[in-house]
Structure 1
């Protein structure tokens, strides 16, 4: 009997991890949706009467700001020389700084670039105490073509500038489509030309509420959403919190961070065919290689999630520091191997003007510190306690997965968060800043996604009848 008891206990101990795995994977119920304050006030003073007007806005590079910037660029200290025979492995190679700094100070045409920024109609409106900046492009369409609203959200260290090359393609009218996109492209709160919160707590979930209220302000109760980087996480929060409003969700950084997703990811290290298609397995495994790469490339995240104001003080005071800090990300996040190149491969995909335009969104508005606070406001116990990652969303979702994106998840893992995953489109090119790097590929994929979302909706209506 004692021997049988021992065998029974041993069998139970061996079975426990498996049973726990099966419970999480198939039986565990998601938590309830958290209650979000739809009118939380993030501005400096709660007003008795709120200004709900939508006001025209133009980007201005003022003469005092430009003069101050040029003086700082010209009066820098001598660079510390890089180590011998390195590219961007230690960060931005200081041998490259002279050409970038002199171009910004002497050849970047501030007046011309200001006109470029203002090529699209821009506005501001006050949402929950914050003046939110946004671009709005509404195409003129012939009879029989429906205009559909779509919200496009950038991330860090990007800005609305990422979408400029894609916007004419996204909003074009085509005889092959019965719809055209009306694009709404906001600067996230604390980024670029939008106000920043004056008190703690404005994380990704709270920004989802702000973005929803922005769409309501513009008269849209049902709309499509798109996002990359932080925009992707905010879009995921919107799809989770407001599934009845979101007609379709497109992202170029598909993320699933639930316990179930993490267990499947870990299981794939032993049984990759159970988790990912064979031709895509090298994007996920071996886990050790991906883990080492993430450790190498995510030091910034730990700093910004814990002490954003400290790094903010340094970067906000130095345009050269801003340039080196942000452009290093544009190098490595576009293709990890670019860190081996002396110039970081930065000019393989963009002109100097394009990359400096993005920097101007941070420098002209002094918004670097407030932008990186989003990491601290989202990577903390309070925000994780909302458990939004654990709640699947029924919103139709389409993911485009660039070859050199920072992280890759298989369709099977993505479906733990997005059970109505219409498409996971793994492409053989592109990196993290996909709309900026490959605007044509990005735009065509968005339009295919909206076409598919509309077809699904029409088929659902037929089924209901």
Structure 2
């Protein structure tokens, strides 16, 4: 009898201990963190910067590459391509299907490159500029709204568009004209700024370790201040979503609102809430939206299967960077494979990866590849993963620092799975707009610019009803 009582008491003590520990753990992971202080003038250029004087001039830029540069690329594409055949019925499940590589390269060198002047003119349809920020040369598109009818009273609003990887400013070429053109959809005069992120496109790369997402947020905010925009809206996807979120967190005095097509939050609490929500999804999302979030095991399996590149770039970016910078064929295969699965995970079951049957045309994807190739930025763009997964970055736990900046989120069915709103509200305490789209994936601005634009306008209307949107 005494042994039974002792055993019962031990079990009670263990249960109380486990319960207490669980409560303490929950309180710890649920506790919001305070925003740390940052140096907004840190120098990221070469050398120690002791003699650095920032050149604040804003200089026009044209994307111009001579015939010799293009001919050198053509010669690289002319090299014999001796590839092993793909496994039978493998599709894109092992990566880029080698059988598709030959027709792709033929198209690139025989159809796309001969019309490079046309493609170059297309890329130059917007006004491009360069300026120096924090020791870095930052390239950006800067466009003013088209002339509006004089009888229309409109609000002039600066908008910062932030791309991701393996994207570029090319992502927004179908989106920007819609923002600039007057229509019955909106009465806003958008001042559009679309920069190449540091280490991407035609911007320079950091010369030092430690250039994380919050340092990128600082540089992007400083760019907007340079242009005279003290208050602005931020839209971003992929890395642009992370950077935009951190801008809203760090600079609420500057960011009027934050809109994103990738509503991410990576905290233990968000994971816990997502697991709770998966037990009975109807309590947390509408029935028709459950496939965007659940079943959770399927979503995690998808992430694990498709995240190999992430871990490679987060650990040894320079190794793969050297291989891709020296080989335009490899560069194209590496980037296009991400476009294939990023637009629809089911494309990996197709022999052509869906690349010839997507809403993004092949010329648009080759424009994007050319930006990486001509700017020689594949290595530095991948370094951003290593820096953003570093201890320097992780110690600040930005997703646990709440922001009251109004936030809008649109989820696309074929994009990465995201937390339910219940989890997002721990970070974004002022979510004013949520939407779901059955069409579109990870590269929404390129795939479905109409849908993204309409959602952005709905968000802006809601935003301007609750706050002063003027700069």
Normalising by structure 1, report the TM-score.
0.94
Q: Does 1:260 align with 2:269?
A: yes
> 2: CA distance between counterparts of 1:297 and 1:56?
40
Q: Does 1:132 align with 2:138?
A: yes
> 1: CA distance between counterparts of 2:24 and 2:294?
24
**How many pairs does the alignment contain?**
457
1:16 equivalent among 11, 14, 20: 20
Q: Does 1:454 align with 2:464?
A: yes
1:433 aligned residue: 443
Q: Does 1:92 align with 2:96?
A: yes
2:347 aligned residue: 338
1:176: Cα distance to partner? 5.1
> 2: CA distance between counterparts of 1:190 and 1:7?
57
1:376 equivalent among 370, 386, 389: 386
Q: Secondary structure at the match of 1:106?
A: helix
> 2: CA distance between counterparts of 1:29 and 1:7?
30
2:65 aligned residue: 61
> 2: CA distance between counterparts of 1:237 and 1:176?
29
> 2: CA distance between counterparts of 1:400 and 1:444?
11
1:60-459 correspondence runs (5 A): 60-108=64-112, 109-139=115-145, 140-141=147-148, 142=150, 144-175=153-184, 177-348=186-357, 349-457=359-467
> 1: CA distance between counterparts of 2:317 and 2:15?
50
> 2: CA distance between counterparts of 1:83 and 1:29?
50
Q: Secondary structure at the match of 1:446?
A: helix
1:259: Cα distance to partner? 2.6
Question: RMSD value over aligned CA atoms?
Answer: 1.8
> 2: CA distance between counterparts of 1:199 and 1:11?
50
> 2: CA distance between counterparts of 1:351 and 1:270?
40
1:42 equivalent among 19, 41, 44: 44
> 2: CA distance between counterparts of 1:49 and 1:43?
11
**Alpha carbons 2:270, 2:419 under 8 Å: kept:** no
Structure 1 stretch displaced more, 151-160 or 134-143: 134-143
> 2: CA distance between counterparts of 1:275 and 1:197?
42
**Alpha carbons 2:43, 2:135 under 8 Å: kept:** yes
> 1: CA distance between counterparts of 2:453 and 2:124?
21
1:408: Cα distance to partner? 2.3
> 2: CA distance between counterparts of 1:31 and 1:351?
44
Q: Which runs of 5+ in 1 are unaligned?
A: 460-465
1:197: Cα distance to partner? 0.5
1:258: Cα distance to partner? 2.2
C-alpha distance after superposition, 1:394-448 (max 9, x if no partner): 1100001000111222111111211111122111111000000001111111111
Normalising by structure 2, report the TM-score.
0.93
**Alpha carbons 2:52, 2:135 under 8 Å: kept:** no
**Alpha carbons 1:256, 1:416 under 8 Å: kept:** no
Structure 1 stretch displaced more, 338-347 or 356-365: 338-347
Q: Secondary structure at the match of 1:261?
A: helix
Q: Secondary structure at the match of 2:35?
A: coil
Structure 1 stretch displaced more, 334-343 or 265-274: 265-274
Quick one: structure 1 residues 278 and 16, their matched pair in 2 at CA, closer, same or farther if it must change by over 3 Å?
A: farther
Quick one: structure 1 residues 362 and 201, their matched pair in 2 at CA, closer, same or farther if it must change by over 3 Å?
A: same
Quick one: structure 1 residues 406 and 76, their matched pair in 2 at CA, closer, same or farther if it must change by over 3 Å?
A: farther
1:17: Cα distance to partner? 5.4
**Alpha carbons 2:185, 2:457 under 8 Å: kept:** no
1:43: Cα distance to partner? 1.0
Q: Does 1:33 align with 2:39?
A: no
Quick one: structure 1 residues 277 and 126, their matched pair in 2 at CA, closer, same or farther if it must change by over 3 Å?
A: same
Structure 1 stretch displaced more, 12-21 or 328-337: 12-21
> 1: CA distance between counterparts of 2:343 and 2:392?
32
> 1: CA distance between counterparts of 2:454 and 2:293?
26
1:266: Cα distance to partner? 2.3
**Alpha carbons 2:186, 2:457 under 8 Å: kept:** no
1:462 aligned residue: none
**Alpha carbons 1:334, 1:433 under 8 Å: kept:** yes
> 2: CA distance between counterparts of 1:272 and 1:146?
40
1:21: Cα distance to partner? 6.0
Q: Secondary structure at the match of 2:319?
A: helix
**Alpha carbons 1:259, 1:390 under 8 Å: kept:** no
Q: Secondary structure at the match of 1:34?
A: coil
